[in-house]
Structure 1
């Protein structure tokens, strides 16, 4: 048995683990990185990257069939589903070197391509190697959750891990789950020529602001996606090679393929956490605000920590714990400034409190300002006028922003900056945005906050009148 001693041991080479390994090693720490599967983790291989690549294929097909408004004849797109998947794998291949073993070994990281498990509070075994570490970081991510629906083991089904190997376009894709993954893949596939039915046990896009979700769902239905809400799957049957999903309220849906997209589960099962005295919760590993587990030597970051499950959150967690591990400085993670986006068309984005949560927390102190895309000149020029921005403001400072519309995922960046730095609406209003840009939506939202204060105020009008009368 080989033995290694190191400053930092990172378990998992996804977004969070790679960020820790790269940062710590380049700042002088001795780092060992364990990965028993693919470098880059879920995001590169099964999640963010391939899904956005397939969405791009769907967007290209949709553009061909919806060009008449721009003076270009509509044509029926000739979709080659296998070639679209080649595009997906090409995108992954182009990004892979950034997350490769060779690159991290170039940073000085010792990379061991084995899964690891704890054998004591400071030791992890990976294959025939035992690593003793001063600090250990668990960054093992999450996997698709497959619910125990009766009959699900009798049919072939897809998850976000297996979807990318499918080469034949589904004739009729059934999707169980109306969250971001389900809705993104629904729109991509309907644009690529599949019939699509989404089966959601509660409300589609239910974690987002209902007013914003409605904008997106109306468009998805207009594109031909059947979205069945309050339809909890009870039983799945395989009849003559087709898949039938029956719901608790008696509805049934039959299609050629089934995609299960109901959520994620933290990857903790093979870590033998008990050996290290590490506690878990229903959603993952129990951590404090500094991302430390019940074992003071061990941190857990990203999806496995059971909080917000986004790639950028894992990267953020990495920065939090590097400050603590390398410099011994107090550092805590917070969620109030964390944005997220759903890459449907139109996009859906959120940072901070939704309107409902802001009302609950701030009551009568809350002001909600809105600005609709239909008043943005660039959106008009692009024929992208469906959508709005909504900003929740308390005493002149934003506490949340919700956007549904074209480039919402880009526009939310400004509000993430605002919340991260506790900026005021006046500072957003002072920004000069180039004309004509979609980004003016953000400035106009700030303007909507100040307009009634300037244009509907009797005091302002009296002051202006006095200035005009008495100042030559």
Structure 2
């Protein structure tokens, strides 16, 4: 039997998703030698099964919805002719366009040694990948997460999709059953109903239950108005049937029938192949145990992104990559924080959040909290485009925002301002000093500063007295 090949790089990155690719590209361009392992597809879940394909399908759905609802703009509404297979080809094209940026060839051009094998620890210092043993100075585990498939009786005997298989489909579902009313479930529910499918969401608790209920209600009301059936408090207890005729029974006896089934109940960390026990790396129920600097219980190993068991967003993995590069490559102190991390649900309207929700802020800050609210309906651009549904809430404590919640058109684009504010502990006075171009939806953010200062300026008798004195003495 031939001897295995042996490599001794500065850095070993396990997993070529967004976090792993960011670490590998950053480290190698700074002069570190890097080996990158990927046993499945370069680009990971985000490129192939998550962010990119879902947003591409949502774009197709928006195009169909626009055709059917153009009359208020003076353009006759028409019933869109949806070609589901062509919509999925649009998804495939979006993936293919981005793919070269995440490809093995690009990373090898950068100087990264790419091995298309899964990695497995064989000791605290060594990882085996195929016929290669790697003994690096530092290790970064960036293996991400996979769809969680719950042990519902009967599920194993019926065909079903997860986000890893849905975008390979070319035949439009007549009636899509979705188990799970979280972000993935609700995004795909609205996309499919707009593409001409009947859709039923079966949620064991409350749909979008992790977000501010006032914002969630607006999203869910819109989806119901568009034809999505949303069954809440409906814990799936049994699944039966066959391809084209699937039935979900819930614990309270309700039955839901459809032609296709999508499982969207959450994610699980990809740790099964790693043999972490051989490396002395401890885990929790959510993933790999790390400290605030993303180090595992093996001091030479880091874990980033979904597998680290925290917030499961692509931008968090990229943020983690920067922390690890600072620590493992540059040898500088680095610690993570989460208060400035935004998240977005890409429904229509979009729902975006950064920092504390209103409920969390009230619990944390009590009577020191002020909640400032501005509505889309007061924004000229929103009025011009008939996109007046939604609002912004900013949670302010002693002049500093501690959270922002937004639901409405392009909320995901606008929440970035508040992420910047929280990341740099800016004050509302600094938002007031910003000049927003007119007319834009971004003026909603500026209006929040106006709503905060208006009562302090216009309803303040001291201010009025000072102005009176100034006016009396001005030449």
Q: Please give the range of the TM-score, normalised by the shorter of the 2 chains.
A: over 0.9
What residue is the counterpart of 1:304 in the other structure? 307
Report if the CA contact (8 A) 2:16-2:38 is conserved: yes
Q: Shift of residue 387 of structure 1? A: 0.1
Which residue, out of 459, 462, 468, partners 1:456? 459
- Structure 1-normalised TM-score? 0.99
1:58 aligns with 2:57: no
- Structure 2-normalised TM-score? 0.98
Q: Shift of residue 370 of structure 1? A: 0.2
C-alpha distance in structure 2 between counterparts of 1:240 and 1:334, whole Å: 46
Q: Shift of residue 239 of structure 1? A: 5.8
1:5 aligns with 2:4: no
C-alpha distance in structure 1 between counterparts of 2:455 and 2:243, whole Å: 64
* CA spacing shift, 1:76–1:363, aligned 2, 3 Å: same
Report if the CA contact (8 A) 2:158-2:242 is conserved: no
What residue is the counterpart of 1:185 in the other structure? 188
* CA spacing shift, 1:240–1:424, aligned 2, 3 Å: closer
1:157 aligns with 2:160: yes
Q: Shift of residue 467 of structure 1? A: 2.0
What residue is the counterpart of 2:231 in the other structure? 228
Write the mapping of 1:197-216 to structure 2, written as runs, cut at 5 A. 197-216=200-219
Unaligned segments of structure 2, at least 5 residues: none
Q: Shift of residue 96 of structure 1? A: 0.2
Unaligned segments of structure 1, at least 5 residues: none
1:337 aligns with 2:340: yes
Which residue, out of 376, 380, 383, partners 1:377? 380
What residue is the counterpart of 1:20 in the other structure? 23
C-alpha distance in structure 2 between counterparts of 1:241 and 1:186, whole Å: 18
Q: Shift of residue 470 of structure 1? A: 3.1
Write the mapping of 1:214-293 to structure 2, written as runs, cut at 5 A. 214-238=217-241, 241-293=244-296
Across the aligned residues of Structure 1 and Structure 2, the Cα RMSD in angstroms comes to 0.8
C-alpha distance in structure 2 between counterparts of 1:196 and 1:125, whole Å: 45
Aligned residues between the structures: 472
* CA spacing shift, 1:63–1:82, aligned 2, 3 Å: same
Q: Which moved more, 1:462-471 or 1:416-425?
A: 462-471
C-alpha distance in structure 2 between counterparts of 1:422 and 1:470, whole Å: 39
1:440 aligns with 2:439: no
Which residue, out of 118, 141, 152, partners 2:144? 141
* CA spacing shift, 1:172–1:325, aligned 2, 3 Å: same
C-alpha distance in structure 2 between counterparts of 1:239 and 1:291, whole Å: 45
Would you identify which runs of 4 or more consecutive aligned residues in structure 1 move more than 6 Å?
A: none
Q: Shift of residue 240 of structure 1? A: 8.0
Q: Shift of residue 209 of structure 1? A: 0.6
Report if the CA contact (8 A) 2:144-2:307 is conserved: yes
C-alpha distance in structure 2 between counterparts of 1:223 and 1:312, whole Å: 30
Q: Shift of residue 251 of structure 1? A: 1.1
* CA spacing shift, 1:151–1:110, aligned 2, 3 Å: same
